[in-house]
Structure 1
Amino acid sequence: MRLSILLLLLLPSFITNAQDIKEVKTNKGKIYAFWGWNRGWYTNSDIHFTGDNYDFTLNDVEATDRQTAFDWGVYFGLSTITIPQTNFRLGYFINDNIDISVGVDHMKYVMVDIQDVKISGEINDESEYNGSYDNNDFTINPSFLKFEHTDGLNYLNAEITYNKNIFDLIGLKTNKEKIQLDYLLGFGLGALMPKSNVTLYGNENHDEFHFAGYGFGAKAGLNITFYKFFFLRSEYKGGFINMPDIRTTSNENDRASQHFWFTQLNFNFGFAINPFN
């Protein structure tokens, strides 16, 4: 709301008569980069665990994101800048309206540590969980399982995005050298490289980055550019993640798999240059 009011107050200074508008250079060749932060939401998922002495599935498991509380030192400190959930992207305009980009969506996925689910499969060891299960009621608790992608549900992806100037659409004449407001529509796909924090009834976790699967999604957003170089952007994304090969413990044979839908809302700031204009 505050941003909307600010834009309404500033807009008259950017509106100009037709004869005062300079010829606008094309976006083609423009390079941009941005950094920002996100919140994420995930559908419930079935998580399948396999190992030397177990093969079982937990059904309809709930999880949340974990955004870090805002602190200037954490969000902008060089040694802590990647602790929050972040977005980084580098892009290039192939023509006036379409850009291609690569980036990393650093999300976090945290299983709710105490919840009631169904379990099916077998656990064959000397633990208290030994037995066969057939859609039995089961309560997940921290002594049985901790399941998080908190060092990053890292979505490494490429996107193609369509950009359109909103002021042109509504017939509002503005000086694009000073301000430009675009809507964005895009699609992307990529790989998941989480660093998972998993503790399965006391086993040591596997604390390494690992390519675990793939994802794809679509987005819509708004981008406002000031004086051609600085911009603010917000995007709403939705997509699908499938990870058939999640490392869980230090044992090479211990694995997990899951898939789920996600949504993400991000806020970013960035800079753009056009070295060819």
Structure 2
Amino acid sequence: MIPEGNSRENIERFSGFAELYDRYRPEAPQLVVELLGNYLGRKPDLVMDLGCGTGLSTLIWGGRAERVIGVEPNADMRSEANRKLKGAAGPAERITFVPGYSNRLDTPDNSVDIITCSQSFHWMEPVSTLKEAHRVLKRGGVFAIYDCDWPPVLNWELEKEYLELTEKADDLVKRTMDKADQAVKRDKNGHLGALRDSGAFRFTREIVFHNAEHCDAERFIGLALSQGGIQTVFKLGLTALDSELETFRKHVEDFFQGESREIWFGYRLRLGVK
């Protein structure tokens, strides 16, 4: 049974494309580990990664914490995370992935050093999630929300097409699905305010940084296809985007010309110290 405050539609939005999501989405930058470790002031005993998806934001803690728990309610995403974990070695032995919800964590009071939400807090009910975070965090523990901006920085024309595709997909979903069946995505610009309004933290702030990665045409196209709105259009069997997607694919391939280029992901990290 899904605990109160959680949405089945939000959870199921990410079913059916875990492998594609994991193949093209960016891993969390190592800078996140360094920043949060500095705020904590020591090596964490326990890190919890909420809404961890396929583990892209969990596995970066391997060897950087005594124990790491990725919490993910979507079975497809969690299965992909566990598949990757089986192939990992060394520090990954201290990482586990469990089913669960951000506002009902299976861990004692005052037991967690760092909690992270990578590309996930906007799918969570903020008030109950932050109340639960306050319960389980140790004094001086850190709660961190971080997201990258879409699309990555590359070329203004391709970025414009990318945005138009995702906007059209979201509009199609809104017009086609019953409202009760639609996922609810909260405004990321409200994250810092939610941290401050919770009264759970002695200190809050936002940190902005970027991370460079290499990208080819296949990956840039894959990033667009990994967006939940576009995947929902596919699940609904709609073909209204087919022509635009084919044009986008051609323009991306023409731009990359079979080569790999550097792209930049802009990140916004909002944190609170208990």
TM-score of Structure 1 vs Structure 2, range by shorter chain: under 0.3
TM-score w.r.t. the length of structure 1 is 0.24
Quick check: which one's strand share is greater?
Answer: 1
Quick check: which one's helix share is greater?
Answer: 2
TM-score w.r.t. the length of structure 2 is 0.24
